[in-house]
Amino acid sequence: MPRSATDLLSPRRLAIVDALRGLALLAMVAYHACWDLVLFGLAAFALYDDPIWLSFRTAVASGFLFLVGVSLVLARRAGHSSIWLVRRFIVLAACAAGISLASLVFAPASPVHFGILHHIAMASLVGWVLVPVPRWVLVAGGVAAWSLPEVVSHSVFDTRWLDWIGLATRFPNSVDFVPLLPWGGAVLFGLAVGKSLDGLSVRWPGLAAWQPAQMPGRALVWLGRHSLVLYLVHQPVLMALIGATVILVGL
């Protein structure tokens, strides 16, 4: 049976991890809905200035990247090969390129050249190699990744070809910019936690075998298992719904 893009991106999975990913997706949809309301002039949220909004955005993006690290460890433990990794990278890179092209049309003043999907694609390659690294090294690397941009920056990284590393003195005007530093730290922490899940079925059999019995839990798991497709379509759907509402109501 042919596998979907979601299958290519997902290891044999723990329902609890899918549920957490579904929760992160809902949080991202909520944030983007608020962003769209501001875009259409229906709200005045200080998305780029208010510490609460900035913290919310950081938490959502970090949650997704953290789960990338966890999932890479689960994939290695499930016996996935480098072929699976290459297919995953191709799917992610193609989707990321599509978002970049679309942003040139819908947000030409602030296009996306290294957003969260670009980051996940690259982090998947790097993270796969780092899975065998000891946990304490991954944790130390995560701390370093989060800290380094605060103490190291140079104008040589200010070009579009290098700013994605995260050490630039100024960053591009982009609606979605998620450089490797500091955000890669979340992936490293996810790798460390994923490695700690070894023997989960022995130590916490209930958690490893957990399957949601009620609809809210099942919905979160379903969202988590289709997160890529839903990520790609949710923003166009939101903008279409809000735009149609503005036109119909005459706001």
Residue 133, helix vs strand vs coil = coil
Residues 171-183 have pLDDT tens digits of 889 999 999 999 9
Residues 35-65 have pLDDT tens digits of 999 988 899 999 988 999 999 999 999 999 9
Say which residue the tokens 């978002």 belong to.
Answer: 99
Residue spans of the domains in the chain: they are 5-249
Q: What is the pLDDT of residue 141?
A: 97
d(CA 127, CA 190): 10
Cα dihedral sign, 175-178-181-183? positive
Q: Note if the pTM is more than 0.85.
A: yes
Q: Which of 51-55, 202-206, 239-243 bottoms out in mean pLDDT, i.e. has the lowest?
A: 202-206
Q: What is the pLDDT of residue 210?
A: 75
Question: Within 13 Å of residue 64, how many CA atoms lie on the same side as its CB?
Answer: 27
CA 163 to chain centroid: 19
- Which one is predicted more confidently, 211 or 10? 211
Q: Whole-angstrom distance between the N-terminal and C-terminal Cα of the chain?
A: 49
